[in-house]
Structure 1
Amino acid sequence: MSHPQRPRRNFYGRLKGKSLKPSQKGYIAEDLDALSPGPVDWEANPTRTPLDLDGLFGGRPTWLEIGFGGGEHMVHQAGLNPDVGIIGCEPYLNGVAMLLGKIRRAGVNNVAVHPGDVRDIFDVLPAASIDRAFLLYPDPWPKARHHRRRFVTPEHLEPLHRVLRPGAIFRVATDIEDYVRQTLEEVPRQGFEWLAEGPDDWRKPWDDWISTRYEQKALREGRVPHYLTFRRI
């Protein structure tokens, strides 16, 4: 049987920051493997067999957080919604370690963690299997020549549309006005409807929102958060 060829992909951004604390190293050594959503990397899953989400979360609806940062929002949502399962993707190892510590302290058991690029997860998610997705304070890539690196481009939005169920919600939070512009241009082109009837629909956070450290930094520096909600058509 021939195996699909691994796509050539560039990755931009940090994979690791300052040295991890001994406790954080312990979280990664002791907890990370058990929280894997399944065989994702090409060596473990060369045929790109789809993830068994029913087996992973017992048939519960599945949500996806794209770049969970320090994990505040993901753990908050997992605690609020024990009837769903949440997969979080984050290539930055320090953020993964922070999330694992929060998972231990919160005691949530409806999460799975992929310490890598969300495109790896897109490769193995079944079509129309995700009920909600979050993109919260993504890397803004402010220079014009780097805008193609942003998540809100066809390279990412097309597979996101494939894995979301019809009617699924896609939330985007950002404090960068030009990121808002690109989001509102690109996301509807890929089969999403912007759910906004008035200014409060993007100026006020969602009812179940928890402010993250990235948002707090934006507020301290005088930038205005935007909360955009889309529905997969």
Structure 2
Amino acid sequence: MSDKADTVFDPNPPRRNFYGRRHGKTLRQSQKGYLSEDLGELRPRGITLQDNPDRHPVDPQAIFGNANPVWLEVGFGGGEHMVHMAATYPGINIIGCEPFINGVAMLLGKIRAAGVDNVSVHPGDARDLMDVLPDASIQRAFLMYPDPWPKARHHRRRFVTPEHLLPLARVMQPGGIFRVASDIPDYIRQTREQVPPAGFETIGDTAEAWDDWISTRYEQKALREGRAPHYVTFRRT
């Protein structure tokens, strides 16, 4: 592992600012049902200070009750990609992080419809999850159409900054794959610049989607508005 990412587990992470929305338009009754009936079973214990005040590391394999490889999706949006991956690769487990509760409700509906059972949902900041994941516990990670924060003074809020990338590198296995998709050229520029120094090497940088890709609603919106998607793949060194 890179020295930059080979850090000691911190049982008392610093307080952080959170940027972005947690709630949107009023949920439909069915979505409220998904949240009340399904989220509790899918939400991993030990992520928040309320249920892990001493911040003990959380074994992701214990979340699923098996030793299958664990993948991570940061900001799953409406959940299309996460559920597609869970259905396409039933021999893996995938944890999704999303603080926007409307997106969580959409994901839960898709999980019901697809009948997948190899998923876990953290309805909060991905940094909180990475705080308690053990070193080298994640085999693959996804950052699909993240919030672009287009204003220059907000670029530090993007996920592709050391504040996020160094913890991600710590929890990823050597040789693990990190995929990034975006339709914002400046986000891709920052991704190319910031990810490799955190402990990754670039192994793909193209306008062609991955073979197992499913186009999400965010990508379809980008295409309708004339923005070209781009796909970058990194390997943990």
TM-score (norm 1): 0.95
Cα distance in 1 for partners of 2:111, 2:223 equals 26
Matched, 1:117 2:117: no
Cα distance in 2 for partners of 1:55, 1:125 equals 12
The percentage of counterpart residues that share the same residue type is: 68
Which one of 164, 174, 181 corresponds to residue 166 of structure 1?
174
Cα distance in 2 for partners of 1:37, 1:134 equals 19
Match of 2:7 in 1: none
Number of residues of Structure 1 aligned to a counterpart in Structure 2: 227
Cα displacement (A) at 1:8: 1.4
Q: Deviations over 1:47-72 (max 9, x none)?
A: 11122222223000000000000000
Matched, 1:100 2:100: no
Match of 1:81 in 2: 89
Cα distance in 1 for partners of 2:142, 2:75 equals 9
Residue 229 of structure 1 aligns to a residue whose secondary structure is: strand
Letter in 2 for 1:154: P
Cα displacement (A) at 1:5: 3.4
Matched, 1:131 2:139: yes
1:23-34 paired onto structure 2 within 5 Å: 23-34=30-41
Cα distance in 1 for partners of 2:199, 2:13 equals 26
RMSD: 1.1
Matched, 1:208 2:212: yes
Residue 23 of structure 1 aligns to a residue whose secondary structure is: helix
Matched, 1:21 2:12: no
Q: Deviations over 1:117-171 (max 9, x none)?
A: 0001001111000000000000000000000000000000000000000000000
- Structure 1: gaps spanning 5 or more residues: none
Cα displacement (A) at 1:44: 1.0
Match of 2:224 in 1: 220
Cα distance in 2 for partners of 1:93, 1:140 equals 19
Kept in 2, the 8 Å contact 1:64–1:130? The answer is yes
1:17-56 paired onto structure 2 within 5 Å: 17-56=24-63
Kept in 2, the 8 Å contact 1:37–1:51? The answer is no
TM-score (norm 2): 0.94
Cα distance in 1 for partners of 2:13, 2:152 equals 29
Kept in 1, the 8 Å contact 2:13–2:131? The answer is no
Cα distance in 1 for partners of 2:99, 2:63 equals 21
Cα distance in 2 for partners of 1:228, 1:37 equals 29
Tell me which of the two structures has the higher relative contact order, counting C-alpha pairs closer than 8 angstroms and 6 or more residues apart.
2
Cα distance in 2 for partners of 1:5, 1:106 equals 38
Letter in 2 for 1:87: I
Kept in 2, the 8 Å contact 1:62–1:131? The answer is yes
Cα distance in 2 for partners of 1:54, 1:13 equals 30
Letter in 2 for 1:208: D
